[in-house]
Chain A
Amino acid sequence: MSKLEFRLPLGVVSQSDIIRLSRELAAVDEFFIAAKARAAGTPVTPPRLTRLLDEISKENQLNLLQANHRQSLAQQLDKLKGSAPTIQISFAAEPPSKFLERILAWLRENIHQHALVQVGLQPSIAAGCVLRTPNKVFDMSLRAHLDKEKAYLVELIKGAVSRGGSQ
């Protein structure tokens, strides 16, 4: 399974999700190691898989019961920890999960298939968002939009002032 073939479900949003998945996968791995070493007749309590781990294994057609699949997934997750591009996006308020999924889907479709997002809060944005890549800041807020439309705003104000002056 190559790096490009590995698919991240939209539920995996940030680096913390990757870390959580790694930890969960390690717990599963430990369970199976413990299961091998258990005495006969000892009750087995398998760890609960989270929806996210389930999704990622399904997306990548991995069977977590198989040790090589778990190992492969763990390797991919380790790679992602160091290499997945993290894009920081700030909003005026906490974004709903559906909303965030749409953004993430776009990013993974158009920018990078393993793109991760770190959501920030910045109430002064009012509307829109501010996106930060490793070297750049893309201001897509209302303020930036108003800045772009400054000429039109000035025209409107001049029109209002001249109307006020003529009255």
Chain B
Amino acid sequence: MSSGGLIIIIGLIISATLVFTWLVWQPYRKSRKKAKIAASQIPPVSRSTLLERAQEEVDHIFNDEFREELRNRGRLHFEKVIGENAMFLQQDLRETTTQLNDYMRTEITRTLQEEFKKYQQSISDAKQLALDSIEKTVTTIEQQRHFLETQLQAQAEAQKTRIIERFEQEMASIINHYVLRAIGNQIDLSDQLEYILAELENNKKAIFEDVKAGI
């Protein structure tokens, strides 16, 4: 139980005590009023006499039955007040519980929503980070692919050029070999005489000079 509830209960007990005291004191006030009226009508008596009479009256009024009756009435009233207050307390408790539940629900909902928001934000951030990372990876891979493609193309071109150059360098040998293999046995030297003489004529000066130098 909270301190608020304890304070309410103590307040109720104090108020019930005050009500009980008032109820007990009320008949005594009425009898005092009557005594004052009677005293104003009767001739003055001595103080001691008055006290004695009062004592007698008190004993006469507040006899055991009356006191028992008062006690019963007080008890009943107290029980009634206690019952009412218990009802109020129950009602308050119920309302408090309801409010507390609402409050808890609201708070939990709010907290959950905040946590969910944070969670969503975290997920969103993580997702964004993952996307950024993937994007960077994709960009890097694309750059690598482009670089490799360029390198491969360059190497392929270089290889192609090398092959073509080699082919061009060896082309004469290849064709010569092919001719030799294909018609080597059918080539007649006599048919080549004019060609050889023409070649000799073309190289005449160089041959002459070299032969002359060698003599």
Contacts and interface: CB of A to CB of B under 8 A. Distances in A.
Interface of A: 83, 85, 87, 91-93, 95-96, 98-99, 102-103, 106-107, 110-112, 115, 123-124, 126-129, 131, 133-136, 138, 140-144, 146-147, 150, 153-154, 157
A87 B204 CA distance: 13
A138 B200 CA distance: 9
A30 B193 CA distance: 42
A106 B189 contact: no
Nearest to A83: B215
Nearest to B178: A126
A129 B196 contact: yes
19 contacts: A87-B207, A93-B189, A102-B197, A107-B200, A110-B204, A110-B208, A111-B208, A126-B179, A127-B179, A128-B199, A131-B203, A133-B210, A135-B213, A140-B195, A140-B196, A143-B172, A144-B172, A153-B172, A154-B168
B192 interface: yes
Interface residues of B, number: 31
Interface in B97-137: none
A134 B199 contact: no
3 A-B pairs closest in CB distance: A134-B214, A146-B172, A140-B199
Interface of B: 168, 171-173, 175-176, 179-180, 184, 187, 189-190, 192-193, 195-197, 199-201, 203-204, 206-208, 210-215
**Quick one: which of A126, A143, A144, A157 has the most chain B CB within 10 A?**
A126
Contacts of A126: 176, 179-180, 184, 187
A150 B172 contact: yes
A94 B100 CA distance: 125
B189 A153 contact: no
Contacts of A112: 208, 211-212, 215
Contact of A99 (B184, B190, B200): B190
Given A92-B187, A146-B176, A128 B211 contact: no
